[in-house]
Amino acid sequence: MTLAAILLAVSCGQNKPQKALVLYYSQNGTTKAVAEAFAQALNADMEEVVAVNPYDGDFGATIARCQEEMAQGILPEIEPVKADLSAYDVIFLGYPIWFGTYAPPVKTLLENIDLNGKKVVPFCTFGSGGLDSSTRDLAAKFPEAEILPGYGVRTARIEAMPTEVDRFLKENGYIAGEYAKPAPFGEAHAVSEEESAIFDAAVGDYPMIHAKAAEVAARNVEGGMEYIFTANNVDNPGSIKVYVLALDGQAPVFTQVLR
């Protein structure tokens, strides 16, 4: 059964559409923009998670505060959530990725609500990645919740978000509509010089990636090619996977990193 069918499931002999809530935390408005796109497309209720003492400093100040709070085991205080979560069957949970997972105000939120028994769709914004790791953390926190496939977007690519959210919702059956289904990835193989150049151009001078492409799998997508590179770290042992999008007439960009 598709999720679209689930959202229109018959319960006790009557049609009972399941109700969705978009619940999110956003520091600087980027995650808020994604939340608004989801809420508008789904015609869903929306609520923002608000920190009592906002993280309103620059990047360095935010990092320093988070490190201090983590060292002391402190979770930031948040305003009480107004929505009655028991009234919703599907929770679209949004957050920025900090230190590899959902931001601390969301950690506080998850200490004060119970998502077990709910369908949860994570969505996030990040510098390089974190959808996969934060999804694992959600599943570990709420083992009886159904953590569904999520959506993540780099802050540097936020202009691509409206189109991607529309495709994500259609692809996963949340809304009706046609979309271009991408082909499956081909077999991984050793990178060629041309593919290595694509990887290098995509990661560019991004400060958090110091790696050299070793293997790649590719597929055709609407308007170009998508790659999954396996790259070996230059500064320390281990490897990462980097998704790269190379659209016709545009410079290659990486879309997420799996560490």
Q: Where are the domains of the chain?
A: 3-171, 189-258
Distance CA 232, CA 239 (A): 4
Distance CA 38, CA 117 (A): 22
- The tens digit of pLDDT for each residue in 52-95 reads 999 977 888 999 999 999 999 999 999 999 999 999 989 999 99
Q: Are 188 and 216 in contact (CB under 8 A)?
A: yes
What fold characterizes domain 3-171?
Rossmann fold (3.40.50)
In this structure, the strands spanning 20-25 and 119-126 are unpaired
Of 145, 152, 82, residue with least CA distance to 117: 145
- Cut 0.85: pTM above it: yes
Collapse the DSSP code of 63 into the 3-class scheme (helix H, G, I; strand E, B; otherwise coil) and give the result: helix
Q: From first to last of its 259 residues, what are the pLDDT tens digits of the chain? A: 444 444 433 333 333 457 999 999 999 999 999 999 999 999 999 999 999 999 977 888 999 999 999 999 999 999 999 999 999 989 999 999 999 999 999 999 999 999 999 999 999 999 999 999 999 999 999 999 999 999 999 999 999 999 999 999 999 999 999 998 889 999 999 999 999 999 999 999 899 999 999 999 999 999 999 999 999 999 889 999 999 999 999 999 999 999 8
Of 80, 248, 109, 226, residue with least CA distance to 167: 226
Q: Are 235 and 211 in contact (CB under 8 A)?
A: no
Tally Cβ neighbours within 10 Å of residue 107: 20
Burial code (b: 16+ CB inside 10 Å, e: under 16) for 21-38 equals bbbbbbbeebbbebbbbb
Query: pLDDT value at position 57?
Result: 72
CA 212 vs. chain centroid, Å, equals: 25
Residue 239 makes CB contacts below 8 A (sequence gap 6+) with 211, 214, 230, 231, 232, 233
